[in-house]
Structure 1
Amino acid sequence: MDPKLLEILVCPLCKGPLIKKMGRSELICSPCRLAFPIRNDIPVMLQQEARELPADEEIK
């Protein structure tokens, strides 16, 4: 995924920054504890497509 795109993308719910973890095809919002999938190098920024992160899953 293009790093410049990651700089301008924000969480659609809280408008907070997103984190891209190495080796994962997801963008993570820490405050909302949601992981938005990246499919074919395109981030899917829909709440219904996001995965809720379990309490025990580390974000950073």
Structure 2
Amino acid sequence: MTAAPTIEPALLAILVCPATRTPLRLDAEACELVSDAAGLAYPIRDGVPVLLAEAARRVR
């Protein structure tokens, strides 16, 4: 079982969705950063957010 990712609150506060430039929220259970505005979830791999459109999955 993999531990839930942790992202420093200060880092999370400055990360934005590359598509919409809106804030991201952490979904620790899914290991993703979610952009509610874009309907995209960006993976967190080995503790590093992958903020690339081609790596994101659609959510809604």
TM-score scaled to structure 1, two decimals? 0.82
TM-score scaled to structure 2, two decimals? 0.82
Q: Percent identity?
A: 41
> Is 1:12 the equivalent of 2:9?
no
CA-atom RMSD, angstroms?
1.0
Counterpart mapping for 1:1-60 below 5 A: 1-53=7-59, 55=60
Q: What is the aligned partner in structure 1 of residue 4 from structure 2?
A: none
CA–CA distance in 2 between the matches of 1:28 and 1:10? 10
Tell me by how many angstroms 1:52 deviates.
0.6
Structure 2, unmatched stretches of 5+, are 1-6
Q: Runs of 4 or more off by more than 4 Å in structure 1?
A: none
Tell me by how many angstroms 1:24 deviates.
2.3
Structure 1, unmatched stretches of 5+, are 56-60
